[in-house]
Amino acid sequence: MGIINPPWQSYDVCLSGESILHFKSYRRLLLSAIEHSDDIHLYHNMVSFLFKGRTLERLFGSVKFFILLVVFTLATSLTYVGLAWAATEYFKSYSYMKKCAVGFSGVIFALKVLTTHYERSYYSQVMWFTVPSKYAVWAELLIIHILVPRASFIGHLAGILVGVAYVYGPLNGVVNAIYTTVAGPPRPSYTYAHGMTRGYTYR
């Protein structure tokens, strides 16, 4: 929007397997997520983030949601690098290591896995289609790949895998451990009622 002029260009912080594994440019793991290719790319991602964030921040609370975003950003970037390396090894083409991506959409795909999991709805709307919620994020991955050829398939897939790792894997424990360190252990909840029980008065 021109309000803040960052001290880098898109190509300085775009994420690729080569930039991380060979050139050790680790700042890209974070900065690539906040950089976008153009205004439309930014606006689309932020509108999508607004809808998902509204649901998840209410569910987790602001502090835990912020931790979730930081962890998801790093995890999605690292997964992207891993997928780029795996594709290079499998297809014997170094081009996968050189593909460079920017944008927050990988993290948004991870958040979409969480929203479809916690909302517990049977069906979701993806573009013009109604699909079972458990397949919604995969359908969106394919539709965007077909309609927007420039979109990073590996980046979006990385986000989905990170979301799955949170819902069904160990990433949930990582986020909870960080949250407990920052905010302290969860406080026990109490139910208050009138009367006397074992010498304690409840009001």
**H/E stretch holding 104:** none
**Does the active-site annotation cover 156?**
yes
Q: What is the dihedral of CA 182, 107, 158, 70, to 10 degrees?
A: -20
- For residue 203, name the pLDDT band (cuts at 50, 70, 90): very low
C-beta of residue 186 within 8 angstroms of C-beta of residue 132: no
pLDDT at residue 7 greater than cutoff 80: yes
C-beta of residue 33 within 8 angstroms of C-beta of residue 77: yes
**Does the active-site annotation cover 19?**
no
pLDDT at residue 197 greater than cutoff 50: no
Query: What is the predicted pLDDT for the residue at 193?
Result: 47
| CA 169, chain centre distance (Å) | 15
Q: What percent of the chain has pLDDT over 70?
A: 91
Cα(46)–Cα(202) distance, integer angstroms: 47
Query: What is the predicted pLDDT for the residue at 188?
Result: 59
77, 105, 133, 152: which is the annotated catalytic residue?
105
Which residue type sits at 30?
L
Q: What is the pLDDT of residues 106-133, one digit of tens each?
A: 999 999 999 999 987 777 877 777 888 8
